[in-house]
Amino acid sequence: EGFFGGGRAAGSAVGVYYNDFNGINGFKADDLWGAYASLNFGKWNALANYEKINNDVTNDPEVWIGKLTYGSADSDARGSWDAWVEYINSDKGALLGGATNSWRDDSVLDNVKSWGVGIDYTLAKNVILTAAQTFGTQTKHGNAADPDEFTDVEINFLF
């Protein structure tokens, strides 16, 4: 992982990651690798992330995630906010049963192409309200009907 940028690009980063799962009984992946870039342009941030799982069970699934954010909801700064749009293109099984750090329900994470929009607003120190909505969600592989769109409103308390 590398951080770079000064001035308006401060806090930009790029990185690669790898995890070897061999030897874990019952786990459906041999290894996972990925790469990401998070680039800051003043109040704007562009994030791109790619992951691929290598396994013997299915075709090696991939996921692409892109997110463009304006502003910054800082958990220490009451009244701070951001707004964002994201895109996900995920093969079946690419997220190993879900992503615990996503606002999305598993039904709009696995085997989909989907857009999402949202806002984050800091209500008080360490209290952030998030509201988000998917749109344009389509099943990627198979004959299953497209998933219902998903709306999420949550309050996160940070300790």
pLDDT, averaged per 10 consecutive residues of the chain (159 residues), comes to: 68 88 66 92 94 79 95 96 97 72 85 96 97 96 92 94
Fill in the DSSP letter of residue 74: -
What is the length of the chain?
Answer: 159
Structure tokens given for 27:
């786990």
Selection from 47, 41, 90, 39 nearest residue 68 by Cα: 47
| pTM score of the predicted model | 0.86
Single-letter residue type at 6: G
pLDDT tens figures, 10-51: 778 999 999 887 666 666 667 889 999 999 998 999 999 999
Position 32 scores a pLDDT of 86
pLDDT at position 120 is: 97
Which pLDDT score, from 0 to 100, does residue 86 have? Answer: 97
pLDDT (0 to 100) of residue 31:
83
**Number of folded domains that form the chain:** 1
- pLDDT value of residue 27: 62
* CA 112 centroid distance within chain: 13
Residue 47 structural domain: 2-157
User: According to the model, what pLDDT value does residue 142 have?
Assistant: 87
Strands 81-90 and 112-124: antiparallel
pLDDT of residue 6: 66
pLDDT for the residue 60: 86
Q: Name 85's bridge partners.
A: 68, 117
SS3 state of residue 24: coil
CB 149 within 8 A of CB 112: no
